[in-house]
Structure 1
Amino acid sequence: MRVEIGSPEELLKHFIEVEKQVYSGNSFWSPKSIEEYAYLFSLEDPYLNRGERELVVCFNSEGQPVARCVVQFDNESARAFGKKTGFFSFFEALDQPDAAKLLFQTGFQWFLQREITHVVGPMSPKITDARGLLLEGEGTPTIGMPFNPVYYSRLLEGCGFKKMSDMYEFVITLSTSYKVIDLIAKKVQRTNQDLRVRYLESGQVEKDIQLISEMYNKAWRENSGFIPIQSEEMMYSTRPLLDQMQPDWVGFLEDNGKVMGFRFLVPNYNDLLKGEKIESYRAIFIGILPEYRNQGMDSLIFSDIIHNFCPKYGVKKIHIAWVVESNKKWIKELKRLGGKNTEIKSYRIFERSL
């Protein structure tokens, strides 16, 4: 076996081939096109202004690619862990422990050359990339969420990785009644009649995308392992969606122009893998700024989703992800919101010292 490490221009074809081998014949697999990967790893990606990354591919003795990952590092993201931390992402591999070990041995050398002594993954410093390994949860994957064979965690543990943190995806099948949410939302609205949910405005899309970044950085900063979003990177990641994006995919909870919270929902295009129309959406972000929490503001956002957004698009399920395991209050609220109509998928991020 041998391992190559290099640029997307050199290795992208082999990188994609690993994925094809792993999921061949799997009806739940939703492959990315070579054009999508080329955009993800383009030299125009603003992330490269602050960080570096390379593709790593392991080949067997017959020259077939059998394992892969991306190695990344930037100082700003590393600060979230209080030590010089590198990241691996886009991990895929056949069930061949020796290949996985050789893949990571090469990746570890890349990190050590940069004096990096702590590695986490599967996790990219870019919030818009998929993170973690799927541990529990069946069926078609949600757009932008990990999907992998069950043996992946065994391969990583065999390479010396251990659990860093778990995350959850709440899949809520909508019901016909949300009395508690409606009561709280009406009470909050009576107290402040100027509160409203504002949608994306056509003349200031770029400004609103920047606002999403600012809101995320304020609302999520208390989470462990928090890495700030760069507005240029957010704009780059959402650009492929702009032609089809509807204004109400994004909603800002405002009081006379003062933003207190926001949400960002996208269609779960993976519904189409089942030959069905799109009936579920993923809530990538639902957040309230810290100073406005515990005041019922989230009920206004949920009320807007339930009574305005979902009926308009015929939505039957909402996927809320990610939710980190340390966010006990949010987990409790989501369980109460979904009740018995909730399915929970779990994901894991691993770490290892070098």
Structure 2
Amino acid sequence: MSAHPAGPITIHPVEGKHDKREFVELAFRLNRGDPAWVPPLKGEVFALLTPGKNPWFEHGKAQFFLARRDGRTVGRISAHIDFLALEQPAEQGMGPGTGNWGLIEAEDAETAHALIVAAEDWLRSQGMHRALGPLSISIWDEPGLLVEGFDTPPTIMLGHNSPLYRAWIEAEGYRPVKKLINYAVEIIDGFPPLVNRIVAAGERNERIRIRRVDKRRFDAEARLIMGILNDAWSDNWGFVPLTDSEIAYIGKKLKDIVFEDLIRVAEVDGEAVAFMIVLPNINELLIDMDGSLLPFNWARLLWWLRKPKSRRLRVPLMGVVKRLQNSRMASTLAFMMIEYIRRDGVAHYGAQQGDIGWVLDDNQGMNAVAEAIDATVNRVYQLYDKPLA
């Protein structure tokens, strides 16, 4: 972070390609000295910010801002409104009048203050009366501010930020509203005996079938899984339904890192009722690519994708249809999927550790599963809110 500022800070709406490039590049400059920060692929970040590429913009609008001082870019922030989030029940965390901000990067507290004020002013101008953040950009992207777990790089699709940001955000009057927990679990030697007994009992149950996804039917499998997800998560805090175009977009984005033996669908009496997605940790490769596939990183990436070796695997999503939640069947299916993927992850990918998250701090079912497999918390993300008077 910089020394004491010289000139005044000015805030500028992002306009045109040059500003957008500044917006993306700033994160690289401010975080380059952090050994735990994983540079994202710049093409992916540009796509996230661009209407026509990111289908979130079909039901949302955003304004991006840059902070400048003495002609230098010293900060950035996004302010955005998701019209589907506005339609959700207020008691579930989103709801009418709730706007969001995110993607914050700042050299110092003064810059962070100016950026947050600009984001709040824009949200007020759009009729919002509450700010919830940070979200980058939707709840399905990278929600929350990292508040615990700064010492190790995140796994795929998890965020990372400076530990300084927490105090700067809280100084603006934001109060913690929800914690998102990420768990780490050692997987080489398997799980405790209780879990193994549950899996064995499930295997004797003729009603249950746990199958791998079929990548030849990728689009249909993606729709099936996301259909279960929209049902399974619909009562969760912060839930916003995924649209058909978002499901297609996520499927296309993940297709290259989807492997059949790392994704399971659980069927009961022939009906698909649960799923678990596990991804190899491409961040182990990205951490020294500096956000670019050129000149030779694309070849390294293609080589890795042919047969990835991944010390850590991440479980970004799993779900059981709502009508089975909190049942013995739900926990049986969860443990069976976890165990089957664990075996294949160790045997085929050289995996030593699993990452499970994020999990809402009040999701009793998933937190109980994590406890049963001896998982420990390794990262905590915090979401904040504030009334916009």
**Fold equivalence (TM over 0.5):** yes
- Check conservation: 2:195, 2:372, Cα contact below 8 A: no
Task: Give the Å deviation of 1:278.
Answer: 2.0
2:316: which partner in 1?
284
Q: Does the Cα contact within 8 Å between 1:125 and 1:227 map onto a contact in 2?
A: no
Aligned pairs for 1:187-226 within 5 A = 187-191=201-205, 193-226=206-239
Q: Residues 8 and 54 of structure 1 are in contact (CA less than 8 Å); yes or no, is this contact kept in structure 2? A: no
Q: 1:262 to 1:182 in 2, by over 3 A?
A: same
Alignment identity in percent?
A: 22
Distance 2:60 2:214 in 1: 32
Contact 1:221 1:228 in 2 (8 A): yes
- Deviation of the 1:171 alpha carbon: 0.8
Q: CA 1:8 to 1:31, structure 2 compared with 1: closer, same or farther past 3 Å?
A: farther
Distance 2:211 2:145 in 1: 35
Query: Structure 1 residues 274 and 108, CA, compared in 2 at 3 Å: closer, same or farther?
Result: closer
Cα distance in 2 between the residues matched to 1:135 and 1:326: 17
Cα distance in 1 between the residues matched to 2:343 and 2:195? 11
Give the superposition deviation at 1:145: 1.1
Q: Say which of 54, 67, 72 aligns to 1:64.
A: 72
The count of aligned residue pairs is 349
Structure-2 change in CA distance of 1:125 and 1:38 (3 Å): closer
Q: Is the 8 Å Cα contact of residues 87 and 120 (structure 1) preserved in structure 2?
A: yes
Aligned residue among 267, 278, 300 for 2:280: 267
- Do 2:262 and 2:341's aligned partners in 1 also have CA atoms closer than 8 Å? no
Which segment drifts farther, 153-162 or 29-38?
Answer: 29-38
Task: Determine if contact 2:182/2:356 at 8 Å carries over to the other structure.
Answer: yes
What CA distance in whole angstroms lies between the structure 2 residues aligned with 1:35 and 1:281? 24
* Contact kept? 2:184, 2:355, Cα under 8 Å: yes
Cα distance, 1:316–1:111 mapped onto 2, change above 3 Å: same
**Residues 1:23 and 2:28 aligned together:** no
Does structure 2 retain, via aligned residues, the 8 Å contact 1:220–1:226? yes
Find out whether 1:6 has 2:14 as its counterpart.
yes
**How far apart are 1:196 and its partner, in Å?**
2.1
Amino acid at match of 2:378: I
Q: Secondary structure at the residue paired with 2:87?
A: helix
Q: Is the 8 A contact 2:67 2:75 kept in 1?
A: yes
* Aligned mates of 1:243, 1:125 — CA distance in 2: 23
- The alpha carbon displacement at 1:210 in A equals 1.6
Is 2:178–2:361's contact at 8 Å kept on the other side of the alignment? yes
Distance 1:188 1:224 in 2: 30
Q: State the TM-score, normalizing by the size of structure 2.
A: 0.83
Q: Displacement of 1:256 after TM fit?
A: 5.0
Alpha-carbon distance change, 88 to 102 in structure 1, aligned in 2, over 3 angstroms: same
Aligned pairs for 1:1-354 within 5 A: 1-7=9-15, 9=17, 11-44=19-52, 45-60=54-69, 62-80=70-88, 81-94=94-107, 96-124=108-136, 126-137=138-149, 138-178=151-191, 179-191=193-205, 193-272=206-285, 273=287, 278-292=310-324, 293-295=327-329, 296-338=332-374, 342-354=376-388
1:54 shift after superposition: 2.2
Question: Is the Cα contact below 8 Å between 1:197 and 1:254 reproduced in 2?
Answer: yes
Q: Which moved more, 1:118-127 or 1:159-168?
A: 118-127
Q: What RMSD, in angstroms, separates the aligned Cα atoms of the two structures?
A: 2.2
In the alignment, the residues of structure 2 paired with residue 208 and residue 127 of structure 1 have an alpha-carbon distance, to the nearest angstrom, of: 22
